[in-house]
A and B are shown apart, each in its own frame.
Chain A
Amino acid sequence: MSRELFREVSRRDFLKICGGVAAALGLSEMSASEVAEVLAASAKKPPVVWLEFGSCSGCSTSFLNADSPNAVDVILNHLSVRYIEVIMAAQGAQTEEVLHETIEKEAGNYIAVIEGAVPTLDGYGMIADRNFYDVLKEVAAKAKAVIALGSCAAYGGIPAAKPNPGQVKPVSEIIGKEKVINIPGCAANPSWLISTVVHVLMFGMPELDSFGRPKFIYGQCIHDNCERRASFDEGMYVEKYGDTEVGRDYCLVKVGCKGPNTHSNCPQIRWNGSKSWCVAVGAGCIGCVEPSFPDAFMPFHDRLPDLALPGWAGIRADADLIGTVLGAATAIGIGVHAVGAAAKGKLGKRAAHEEQAKTEA
């Protein structure tokens, strides 16, 4: 039995697996068989340590919902997951031994996946009587790369919402940005995690945006790829949940969709076996991958107040442009889009009229 990254599988399986990964990476120019070859060339199953801090376990749950490849496949065949609290067989002190053994034996070699924010108050989060932040420092020091998985680990997320009761911090504020790749999301889509790991193993560090997120995942605005964009441009909106006539899937911006402020490939790769995503069920995006989630995106069902910034950016402003202003002036993104669209004469009459009424008021 080989100990390759992707152990010997049938060619059919291999192509299936790699097809999924290649699609997630957007590697249309690279054939599945080429991906397979690169992966097979790796020396052994790379070791992974997965730690859960101030989280809801949702990113672990999400990983178990991976479909191409699925979680058991990943764990048995592609990665050597040494420490993962939610499924590992080891118990009590034994788990600590596994952790320390991995850190020592695989120094410089292992990928650390961190789920959850890190409480900075003494005693507010502990494993084996040690504060999370000490465990994190120890694990990160010898890791090859650290993946801050989910919005809590990446940016503080839910527990960091005002007033941040546990005084939690994101991973990168505890250990520095160097080795950290942020994969935000609440929860993070399993494809984001798996395709990033594959990227690290195959091509090295992915290119990151200024929030530490891989650009191949978070490089585009949801609004620009949304299936309901045509209605947005036509000014056809769902005014309230439950107001739609049969069969009308209008734009959800007025019931609070934050797609214009949010950057990820959700519209393209969708969720749970590509069965659905937030806009497809008629609810709208709540901005769960953004650094200022959730504070800047609440009330979730209200349209964010427009800040008129005529001439600022354009309707295709990318994450770096919009994101830099999110913290201070959280509503700008949507304003930019609306204004940009209106300026280009794309916004429907009704909406343009309302825009004006609002500005006047």
Chain B
Amino acid sequence: MSQIITVDPVNRIEGHLKIQVEVENNKVVNAWTMGTLYRGLEQILRGRKAEDAVLISQRACGVCPIPYATAGSKAIEMAYGIDIPENARILRNIINGFQFLGSHILHFYHLVALDYVDPTAVAQYTGNDPELLDLKSLIQSGDTAPFTPRWDHDFRLPTDINIVATKHYIEAVRMYQRVGEAIALLGGKFPHVVGIVAGGMTPKVTPTLVTELIGYAKELKDFIDTKYVPDVLAVAPYYIDYGNIGVGPGNFLAYGAFEGADRDPYNGLLPRGVIMDGDINNVQEFDQSRIVEHVAYSYYQDGNPRHPGDGVTEPKFTGVPSDPRRGEKYSWLKAPRYNTKAMEVGPLARMLVRQDPNLLDLAAKLKIGPSVLARIAARALEAQLIANNILNWITELKPDGKVPCAQYKPGSGRGYGLDEAPRGAIGHWLEAEGGRITNYQMIIPTGWNASPRDITGQPGPYEIAMIGTEIKDLSRPIELTRIIRSYDPCIACAVHVVDLEKERIAAKFTIGC
């Protein structure tokens, strides 16, 4: 007998998500992910000055606003033919680099750790650390919100690892503050920055700035090298079965980030590329024209799958299906596909496209596939890679005391900005006339990963990753939430990415990069 299990809300993610699975003999035979919030930022952007998109589109995501600002700026710079100064390119690498570090640290310690680490083990702590002693007395007094209640049937770590990881949970909040401070030096504040503008960046590049950035970069690198990466490696062996749980579609997409002086996206620290059908050593070139978005199972008027540069969408909420098997629309998310395939984006995709030797070695050593554990490990190794490189980027800066921003005249044109957010590939497509936006489209990371079925019935990556999973306790399906969180969902962004432009001027983008 099959039955439907629902987890709603899936918390410790960004935004609102519900999942449903069909289970037979404790095995998932079918799965649905449902985005349950709609905002509609692109419609807001229409008719505004192109530059406003840099500030408005960031507000799709309060966790990773920086890559929205850079993708938006890049789209304008392409449309208007602006060449940004070298210092601006480097500062953008640095600010987005810090964004990655903060987001990855937050994800591991504050979003996923509570699925694996048991902080109540601190009750047995006998040392002198004042913070752990504080926590210990709270536990003893029974006042442990918001760390309890929880699903507590599958904690496997020995007490000492639980205690160390909990200590680092507390320290990680401080690291997150440091990231906020470093970003504020370049962007004014965090979250949501004003310092990234079309044409470049607004802060002056001074020796003082360089010095302060070095301080932050070193502190974060130290935390990542001595705590984050070791913690991931310490936890992994106890959950090694997750090295084969949550395997996604086997198709990976990375737009690439952190370009060097040659500004070649295939040659940056995280290069652009595509991997298809699980052939993970075969990295192919990316062709933008092969992206389409489907709405067959999304709360929009039906229409043919379209390229984002030519999307027409109209919301049509048809109710929450009483049974997901009935084939009705079920999500506010659209379903982007590349070359007709559901694609995984994010740290695992980027590190595979990069053919990162550290990740490939680790995967071979632990004998793990593109799974829950691989995603968590790829994220940690990527953080380490970026932390190492931020220091190099800072030393590339020329502290000439000037504002690195190109002057330009707004006009008409089309452009796109492709970049990477911590959660995966982010693309903005812009059309402007006389300085005003006539069309703005975004496809953001969680739009790929959390997509619902497409018109052919092909499930999205989360759904594929859940199908086949064994659930031990049907009332507490922690296997499912571990799978979902390994992707680092950002649902708020995904459902903001909706255009409602019934009567908009049809825009065709020339495709191919």
Chain A interfacial positions (CB closer than 8 Å to B): 1, 3, 7, 9-10, 45, 52-62, 64-67, 70-72, 75-77, 80-95, 97-98, 119, 121-129, 158-159, 161-163, 165-166, 168, 186-187, 189, 240-247, 271-273, 275-284, 286, 288, 294, 298-302
Chain B interfacial positions (CB closer than 8 Å to A): 6-16, 18, 36-41, 43-44, 48-49, 51-52, 55-56, 59-63, 65, 85, 106, 110-111, 114, 130, 134-135, 137-138, 140-141, 143, 145-151, 169-170, 173-174, 176-177, 180-181, 183-192, 194-195, 197, 199-200, 202-204, 299, 315, 317, 319-320, 400-407, 476-478, 481, 492-493, 496, 498, 500
- Which of B52, B111, B176, B317 touches A65 (beta carbons < 8 Å)? B176
Tell me whether A129 and B481 are in contact (CB under 8 A): no
Contact A125-B146, Cβ < 8 Å, known A55-B62, A92-B7, A163-B43: no
Query: Which 9 pairs across A and B sit closest by C-beta, in order of nearness?
Result: A58-B62, A165-B40, A242-B405, A271-B189, A283-B194, A89-B150, A272-B184, A88-B146, A246-B401
Instruction: Write the chain A residue with the least CB distance to B41.
Output: A158
- Which of B51, B145, B169, B191 touches A299 (beta carbons < 8 Å)? B51
Measured in the bound complex, the distance between the Cα atoms of B401 and A335 in whole Å is 32
Q: List 20 A-B contacts (CB under 8 A).
A: A1-B138, A56-B59, A56-B60, A59-B62, A65-B191, A72-B173, A83-B146, A87-B146, A91-B10, A93-B8, A95-B9, A122-B317, A158-B59, A165-B498, A187-B192, A271-B190, A272-B189, A298-B48, A298-B49, A301-B49
Instruction: Write the chain A residue with the least CB distance to B317.
Output: A123
- Which of A9, A91, A187, A277 touches B191 (beta carbons < 8 Å)? A187
Tell me whether B145 and A82 are in contact (CB under 8 A): yes
Which of A89, A93, A159 has the largest number of chain B CB atoms within 10 A? A89
Measured in the bound complex, the distance between the Cα atoms of B44 and A242 in whole Å is 28
Instruction: Write the chain A residue with the least CB distance to B171.
Output: A72
Chain A neighbourhood of B181, CB < 8 A: 272-273, 275-276
Tell me whether chain B's interface is mostly helix, strand or loop, or mixed: loop
Shortest CB-to-CB span from B178 to chain A, Å, is 8
Which of B36, B169, B202 has the largest number of chain A CB atoms within 10 A? B202
Instruction: Write the chain A residue with the least CB distance to B435.
Output: A299
Tell me whether chain A's interface is mostly helix, strand or loop, or mixed: loop
Measured in the bound complex, the distance between the Cα atoms of B406 and A247 in whole Å is 18
Tell me whether B149 and A281 are in contact (CB under 8 A): no
Which of A124, A127, A189, A277 has the largest number of chain B CB atoms within 10 A? A124
Measured in the bound complex, the distance between the Cα atoms of B145 and A80 in whole Å is 6
Chain B neighbourhood of A243, CB < 8 A: 403, 407
Tell me whether B49 and A91 are in contact (CB under 8 A): no
- Which of B7, B9, B200, B405 touches A85 (beta carbons < 8 Å)? B9
Tell me whether A81 and B146 are in contact (CB under 8 A): yes
Chain B neighbourhood of A242, CB < 8 A: 85, 199-200, 402-407
Chain B neighbourhood of A80, CB < 8 A: 143, 145
Tell me whether A186 and B11 are in contact (CB under 8 A): no
Shortest CB-to-CB span from B100 to chain A, Å, is 15
Measured in the bound complex, the distance between the Cα atoms of B191 and A62 in whole Å is 6
Chain A neighbourhood of B36, CB < 8 A: 125-127
Measured in the bound complex, the distance between the Cα atoms of B120 and A50 in whole Å is 23
Measured in the bound complex, the distance between the Cα atoms of B39 and A168 in whole Å is 9
Tell me whether A281 and B37 are in contact (CB under 8 A): no
Tell me whether A129 and B320 are in contact (CB under 8 A): yes
Shortest CB-to-CB span from B68 to chain A, Å, is 10
Tell me whether A273 and B180 are in contact (CB under 8 A): yes
Chain B neighbourhood of A53, CB < 8 A: 37
Chain A neighbourhood of B138, CB < 8 A: 1, 7, 76
Tell me whether A129 and B8 are in contact (CB under 8 A): yes
Tell me whether A61 and B407 are in contact (CB under 8 A): no
Tell me whether B180 and A60 are in contact (CB under 8 A): no
Tell me whether A91 and B150 are in contact (CB under 8 A): yes
Tell me whether B145 and A95 are in contact (CB under 8 A): no
Chain A neighbourhood of B185, CB < 8 A: 275-276, 281
- Which of A57, A75, A271, A284 touches B62 (beta carbons < 8 Å)? A57
